[in-house]
Amino acid sequence: MGVGKLKFRDKLKDESEDIYILALESSCDETAAAVNKNGLKVLANVVSSQVDLHKKFGGVVPEIASRKHLELLLPVIDQALAEAGIDFEDLDAVASTSGPGLVGGLLVTLTAAKTISLALNIPLIGVNHIAGHIYANFIANPEIKKPLLCLTISGGHTDLLYFEDLRGYKILGRTVDDAAGEAFDKISRFLGLGYPGGPAIEKAARAGNEMAVDFPRADLGDSYNFSFSGLKTAVMNYVNNEEQRGNELKINDLAASFQKAVVDSLTANLLQAVEKYDVESVVLSGGVAANQRLRSYIEEKLEEHNLKLYYPPLELCTDNAAMIGAVAYYQYLERDFAPLSISADPSLKL
């Protein structure tokens, strides 16, 4: 995105100089602000979650989320700057998630970032939320070798990517219907396990038998694409049939069997790519990457290929602004700045 003839407060820096970026994130139900130094060094990472607020609704209510973001954003920004020990005048750029996500939430931080950019006359950077989840890996594990494969799994996206370096990637496959995280949420609600679905399913699965029900896995041939709508329907049909027969439902077994089907599907495509591409590392990203069953199974399979699996710590798996700041740094170096006319894009793709 071009910025025309805009003149900024200071001369733009290069990677030989320290670059401080304030990053903002509010694409779903977390209000977050972070200060990054040179991309991967996080000076402050403040997150205010709304999970408890939305639990009673069984999912995120966009209108409620947006209003809460408005209430929380300024205190969160103030706290991030205080923890980083810097002032607004020290910032070299401001970044915000521009999509994908809930449009009302996206507009809150994007509008704030525009205001800061205009007031301080510093570059504005719009960041793809999913790219943020990927770059969370490089914050936690700067030693990751390239080229690499990345499996990014969240509530709205399931993508398999090939990275030659940190400035470019190739999309190998993505979901053709429901994302893995979306399937977790829907099945969790259907089974009465609550929200958010990922942790709820995982907790129930620990007490269940994952071999109890052999749910189907989508077969998309040689494609690296994913599909979870058929699995979701199969679980619902199984439960309805069992209830009609008067059979007792073993919820923990159902959760474990469903989780295994998702993990198997994700791992199968990843291993197919490992066989084809000569990579040095494999990384996981996104909220579903916090699933311990998924991590352990992929690690086990990658050992056969002498590859190490990398993933962020739990606090960087869920939505946060530090990951947005990491992406923004590389966009800054590329002079990939946004105009003040940038709009939120709730369906933005990588």
Laid out side by side, the sheet with 20-25 consists of 41-49, 30-37, 20-25, 93-99, 124-128
Q: For 259-271, give the DSSP string.
A: HHHHHHHHHHHHH
Task: Classify 158 as helix, strand or coil.
Answer: strand
Joined tokens for residue 42 = 């996080």
Q: Is 129 annotated as a binding residue?
A: yes
Task: Classify 153 as helix, strand or coil.
Answer: strand
**CB of 266 within 8 A of CB of 158?**
yes
Q: Is 152 annotated as a binding residue?
A: yes
- DSSP 8-state symbol, 313: -
Q: Is 15 annotated as a binding residue?
A: no
Task: Classify 5 as helix, strand or coil.
Answer: coil
Q: Is 291 annotated as a binding residue?
A: yes
Q: Is 198 annotated as a binding residue?
A: yes
Q: Is 4 annotated as a binding residue?
A: no
Q: Is 2 annotated as a binding residue?
A: no
- Residue 142's alpha-carbon distances to 66, 166, 326, in angstroms, are 34, 11, 11
Phi, psi at 19, each rounded to 5°: -120, 120
Q: Is 319 annotated as a binding residue?
A: yes
The one-letter amino acid at 261: A
Q: Which of 284, 291, 265 is nearest to 206 (CA)?
A: 291
User: Which residues participate in the annotated binding site?
Assistant: 129, 133, 152-156, 185, 198, 202, 291, 319
- Binding site residue list for substrate: 152-156, 185, 198, 202, 291
- Residues making up the annotated binding site for Fe cation are 129, 133, 319
